[in-house]
Amino acid sequence: MKSTLYTILVGVLMSYSCAPIDVQAQETQIQESPMAAKTILDKADSLFDSRQYDAARDVYLQAMATAENESSELAEAYAMIARCYLITDRKEEGRPWVEKAKKAATPDMPLGWSRYLGVRGRFEWKDGQLEKATATFKEMYAYCHERQLHERAIDAAHMVAITGKPQEQIEWSSKGIHEAEAGNVTKWLGPLWNNLGATYEEKGEYNKSLEAYLKAREYHWKYGAEQNRLIADWAVGRAYRLTGDIQNAEKWLSPLPRWCQKIGDVEFEGLTYRELGEIEISKEHADAALDYFMKAEEKLRFAKMPEWDEKGYQQLQARITDLKSKPGR
């Protein structure tokens, strides 16, 4: 439940396809380039951060071809090639690259070793080995925290908050926030506060959840793209609804369908209609609620919700069936 909710909030439900790569041709091309492997890695990281995963993988391959043997840059390139495959739902193609990173990385190379741990943990997470993944991310956090690798320590804490046991999630979300503040890595604070908000929401502590989502919104509006801002507003509106503040919930959620249409976000248009339907239920407006739920079902079916939240989709269908069966309809 936690991972599904968090994924919705940070908007990382993606299924990009990857074109075949002529690795030999790329290696030949890059071996002639004067760019250092570190410079190429930085370029690839920038593409990865902007979610251009196919393009990023191509450039990580270039870094691999340029890096010296037994170097930190080579370990980093291997690890990130694996991660590009993982994040585009090609896990098995990425697995051999994790093994390459394992052989190339050693604890005396901080950047290569920390990058390897982060990718190894993600593969363990996606394999359903939550305890193993959590142990890996805790190891990564301790290693990075000691060396003041703030961004990577934040990443590790953030992942423990996802893979760890419920009682660990608040502790590790808070650690990530403190690490971001200590290192002045403010771009991470939006996702970190989101993560904490999702944890409080699952625990039913809705007022604390609202406070966390409002903090997340500050940073998403400062650093995020338009979709990040939209999702932040959606989370705040939902949180107001869960606290019982229907007036504020409606204020935040009502403008969002038009905004979703403007940027072509069918998924969050559907999720917003679902929230508006719940608001109408609380006001005992059954007809209006049914109208919103039916719009939500149409949009979320198109967004393939049964594939990423089957339980939520079934609950939505049950709402529709229940409302249609009311006397007088």
Average pLDDT of 168-187? 90
Last-in-domain residue among 108, 136, 157: 108
262 domain residue, yes or no: yes
178 domain residue, yes or no: no
Residue holding tokens 């979709």?
A: 227
158 domain residue, yes or no: no
313 domain residue, yes or no: yes
Please list, in sequence order, all residues whose beta carbon lies within 8 angstroms of the beta carbon of residue 148, skipping any fewer than 6 positions away. Answer: 183
Last-in-domain residue among 57, 88, 108: 108
Q: Confidence class of residue 169 from pLDDT cuts 50, 70 and 90?
A: confident
195 domain residue, yes or no: no
Q: Confidence class of residue 161 from pLDDT cuts 50, 70 and 90?
A: confident
Domain containing 74 — which CATH number?
1.25.40.10
Predicted TM-score of the model (pTM): 0.75
Q: What angle do CA 2, 211, 185 make, to 5 degrees?
A: 80
83 domain residue, yes or no: yes
139 domain residue, yes or no: no
Q: Indicate the number of domains in the chain.
A: 2
118 domain residue, yes or no: no
Q: What is the pLDDT of residue 24?
A: 37
Where does residue 247 rank: exposed (0-12), middle (13-18), buried (19+ CB within 10 A)?
A: exposed
Q: What is the pLDDT of residue 167?
A: 79
pLDDT at residue 274 greater than cutoff 90: yes
Last-in-domain residue among 41, 73, 108: 108
> What percent of the chain is predicted at pLDDT more than 70?
89
Written as six digits, the tokens of 112 are 């290569």
pLDDT at residue 257 greater than cutoff 60: yes
Structural domain including 324 reads: 254-329
- Which tens digit of pLDDT belongs to each residue from 19-70? 333 333 333 343 434 369 999 999 999 999 888 999 999 999 999 999 988 8
What kind and span of H or E run contains 13?
none
Mean pLDDT rounded to a whole number for the chain: 89
> Which of 14-18, 113-117, 194-198 tops mean pLDDT?
113-117
Q: What is the pLDDT of residue 172?
A: 92
Q: What is the pLDDT of residue 9?
A: 54
pLDDT at residue 251 greater than cutoff 80: yes
